[in-house]
Amino acid sequence: MRNGIILYLCTQNAIDMSVSFTLEKRTNLHNECPIRLSWSFMGERYQSTLGASIKKEDWDEERRLVKANAQNHCGQTAEDINFLIKRVSTVVMGIEQDCVGSEFIVGKDMMKQAISDALAKDIARPEDIVERCVNGITSESEPTPRYYKNAGKYYQFICDAVHIYPNGGSFKILQELFGIRRRIAVPLDRFTQVRDGIMSSTPFAEVDKKEVFGR
């Protein structure tokens, strides 16, 4: 429990996921190295600093955690910094598990917001952060099937979607009809011939059922 809120954190001693934590080569005036995080997932990569620094000799490179009893010049203890590392790891792990299961695509904006939420001082539960990020799509089913074609592939319309975060954009969720049948989130401007004043040669064009299935 921390600040009166129960947190369900990644408890593994060594963090071994698609998010990694390393020390930057540069040092500050206190001879401490900033801790850097790098998250790579589904072809996207987001990098940032953890907001904490530590001396090189106080960093366990193998476990990627701060050694016990260490403390930086700001008064952050090993427990404080390792709490942040495991908290971020828990959020990342939750998002990856949920997104793989739902086949939604993680974007860099989502990654940035998730890390920002995980490091925020007004602590929210990691599972709540994951839910906001992964389930940030509102949809309403449509009774009449709609189909689209792009680059020789056919898709069925699933729902309209809106990113949970402001200015995150609007999308259409489409399901590939043949092949691996993946779901994709397509920005609305991909459905028009003109994008940002430029003619697009590969828009998602709506087609009828007969063209898709031949009947």
| Model pLDDT, residue 126 | 73
What pTM value is reported for the model? 0.56
Q: What percentage of the chain reaches a pLDDT higher than 70?
A: 70
pLDDT score recorded for residue 193: 59
What is the spatial distance between Cα 128 and Cα 147, in angstroms, rounded to a whole number?
34
- The pLDDT > 90 percentage for the chain reads 25
Bigger pLDDT: 40 vs 71: 71
Question: Given a cut of 60, is residue 41 above it in pLDDT?
Answer: yes
Tokens of 140: 């309403």
Residue 1 has pLDDT above 50, yes or no: no
* CA-wise closest residue to 65 among 75, 52, 48, 74: 52
Average pLDDT, stretch 29-47? Answer: 89
Residue 181 CB neighbour total at 10 angstroms: 11
pLDDT for 164: 56
Task: Tell me which of 30 and 41 has the higher pLDDT.
Answer: 30
Residue 171 has phi, psi (to 5 degrees) of -140, 170
- Domain residue ranges of the chain, discontinuous segments joined by +: 19-134, 147-209
150-199 pLDDT tens trace? 888 888 887 777 665 556 677 788 888 877 677 788 888 787 755 455 55
**Whole-number pLDDT of residue 14:** 39
